[in-house]
């Protein structure tokens, strides 16, 4: 078997890598459109689009974490021609930058084969990765920050000994400035990028590099942390904050569950999640990928441990610094995942996305000889080829959750214009999606049932307070989505909202029209007034 592998060309992973890129370009429009059907993905677009008209004194409530960086990037590009298309492509541009940073750094450390394999494994995304890295507010920016910080570390360790104090200070300022907005937005950036930089600084000090190199690393981390905290405080003072997210240590009986969930997520990253699926061609292919991912993880762990400390210290300093960066960052985000109450299901993979980048790098760094490289290259090619198949067969462009789509929302927008309706309210999974799809022609703000089955309250995240302040003399509406995901909104109670002036339907949407602003009768709306 290994002798046959010796005849496999080193550039084999480039074939599925290029095929994936072509498929991504061909399906790009449908992919962006499908991703925006998810209200979590549409939320940053809607908030950025409507923030300027919210008026003074408004309060903006983001998600479970403060995705300021995503909001700032949307505001920065909002005035450009075709900004809606730019916004849809922005997550993929960020991911492309991360792949390029990983490829460059890995090439400098371990050569062209390692760069190719790490880039293909990272860039040929499975459906789970596309769903989460295609969103600006699903912690995908943590992965990008880790990749850029790792590339900056490689540059410094490779060349910093010959730099003077001025160039080192400039390096620290640039890296700190680029990383600071990520720290302001997401504490995971501290685990995935800042702590690894400090560890590399300690390694550089031990290995005899000029002290100023280690000080530059610590200074960059300190500047990023201080800048991030300052930006976070400024954003909160301006009335933009997260909804809050209570994190506790996991119960003792949850640790094993979290560890098993992490294993399932790692398998799913490589298209290897057949668990619970009906036995057919696709689930069998997923099982093969699960085995491939298990082998890659095992070889990464075995390769970095083989030969013990003596073998590791024999490696060049640049290799050890790069491996240490990713090993520390990947371990910290994985430990935070396993040891806390955060994990719920496979979609909790968003919290450990930086760990995927770490795995993509460590897998290739662990290859010690030609046979290691050949087997790793074949496994990477297999995983990437299945990603191509999954993308081509429409796995990432299918509306499997029954999110409301363009036909229904377009009809609603026309009705809103004809009836002179100002705005409306509806379930979270339909409201923000409808607002974005109709280019804000039909503004639908998210609500949910509270204090019983009849009352409606402002939704607990992704909202602007002015949405729930009653406007005098306007006609509004309530939307009921009959097929969308839970939690939904039931038929409005006449006891609370009175008899609607009109009732109509557009596909899976039922619309109830009122001759007043129903915000007047939302429970708890007063608590979100400016």
Per residue of the chain (530 residues), what is the pLDDT tens digit?
A: 445 545 668 889 999 999 999 999 999 999 999 999 999 999 999 999 999 988 888 999 999 999 999 999 999 999 999 999 999 999 999 999 999 999 999 999 999 999 999 999 999 999 999 999 999 999 999 999 999 999 999 999 999 999 999 999 999 999 999 999 999 999 999 999 999 999 999 999 888 889 999 999 999 999 999 999 999 999 999 999 999 888 899 998 899 999 999 999 999 999 998 888 888 888 999 999 999 999 999 988 876 665 444 455 668 899 999 999 999 999 999 999 999 999 988 889 999 999 999 999 999 999 888 888 999 999 999 999 999 999 999 999 999 999 998 889 999 999 999 999 999 999 999 999 999 999 999 999 999 998 667 799 999 999 999 999 999 999 999 999 999 998 889 999 999 999 999 999 999 999 999 999 999 999 875 444 33
- Count of beta carbons in the 10 Å neighbourhood of residue 234: 12
Query: Tokens 């050890």 — which residue?
Result: 320
Give the strands of the sheet with 240-241, arranged side by side. 240-241, 60-61, 463-464
Is residue 241 classed as helix, strand or coil in its secondary structure? Answer: strand
- Measured CA to CA, the distance from residue 507 to residue 509 in angstroms comes to 5
Cβ distance 381 to 363 under 8 Å?
A: no
Cβ distance 181 to 69 under 8 Å?
A: yes
Cβ distance 512 to 476 under 8 Å?
A: no
């Amino acid at each position: 078997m290994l002798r046959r592998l010796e005849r496999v060309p080193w550039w084999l992973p480039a074939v599925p890598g290029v095929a994936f890129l072509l498929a991504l370009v061909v399906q790009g429009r449908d992919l962006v459109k499908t991703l925006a059907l998810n209200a979590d993905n549409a939320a940053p677009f809607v908030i950025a689009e409507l923030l300027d008209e919210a008026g003074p004194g408004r309060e903006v409530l983001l998600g479970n974490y403060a995705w300021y960086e995503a909001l700032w990037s949307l505001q920065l590009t909002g005035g450009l021609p075709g900004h809606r298309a730019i916004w849809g492509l922005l997550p993929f541009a960020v991911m492309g930058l991360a792949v390029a940073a990983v490829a460059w750094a890995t090439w400098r450390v371990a050569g062209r084969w390692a760069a190719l394999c790490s880039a293909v494994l990272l860039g040929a995304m499975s459906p789970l990765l596309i769903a989460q890295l295609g969103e600006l507010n699903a912690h995908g920016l943590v992965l990008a920050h880790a990749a850029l910080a790792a590339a900056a570390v490689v540059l410094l360790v490779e060349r910093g000994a010959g730099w003077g104090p001025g160039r080192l200070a400039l390096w620290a300022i640039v890296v700190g400035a680029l990383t600071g907005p990520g720290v302001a937005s997401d504490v995971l950036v501290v685990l995935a990028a800042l702590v690894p930089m400090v560890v590399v600084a300690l390694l550089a000090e031990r290995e005899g590099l000029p002290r100023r190199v280690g000080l530059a690393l610590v200074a960059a981390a300190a500047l990023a942390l201080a800048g991030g905290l300052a930006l976070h405080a400024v954003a909160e003072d301006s009335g933009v904050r997260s909804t809050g997210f209570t994190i506790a240590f996991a119960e003792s009986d949850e640790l094993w569950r979290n560890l098993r969930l992490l294993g399932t997520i790692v398998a799913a990253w490589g298209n290897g999640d057949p668990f619970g699926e009906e036995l057919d061609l696709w689930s069998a292919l997923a099982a093969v990928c699960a085995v491939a991912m298990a082998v890659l993880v095992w070889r990464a762990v075995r390769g970095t441990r083989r030969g013990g400390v003596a073998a590791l210290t024999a490696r060049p300093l640049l290799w050890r610094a790069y491996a240490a960066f990713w090993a520390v960052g990947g371990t910290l985000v994985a430990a935070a995942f396993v040891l806390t109450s955060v994990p719920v299901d496979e979609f909790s993979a968003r919290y450990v996305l930086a760990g995927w980048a770490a795995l993509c790098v460590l897998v290739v760094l662990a290859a010690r000889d030609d046979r290691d490289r050949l087997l790793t290259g074949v496994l990477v090619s297999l995983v990437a080829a299945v990603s191509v198949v999954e993308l081509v067969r429409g796995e990432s462009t299918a509306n499997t959750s029954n999110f409301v789509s363009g036909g229904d929302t377009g009809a609603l927008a026309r009705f809103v214009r004809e009836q002179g309706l100002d705005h409306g309210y509806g379930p979270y999974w339909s409201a923000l999606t409808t607002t974005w799809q109709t280019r804000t022609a039909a503004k639908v703000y998210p609500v949910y049932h509270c204090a019983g089955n009849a009352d409606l309250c402002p939704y607990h995240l992704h909202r602007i307070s002015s949405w729930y302040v009653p406007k005098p003399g306007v006609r509004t509406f309530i939307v009921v989505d009959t097929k969308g995901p839970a939690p939904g909104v039931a038929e409005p109670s006449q006891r609370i909202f009175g008899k609607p002036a009109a009732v109509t339907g557009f596909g899976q949407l039922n619309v109830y029209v009122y001759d007043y602003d129903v915000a007047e009768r939302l429970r708890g709306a007063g608590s979100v007034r400016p």
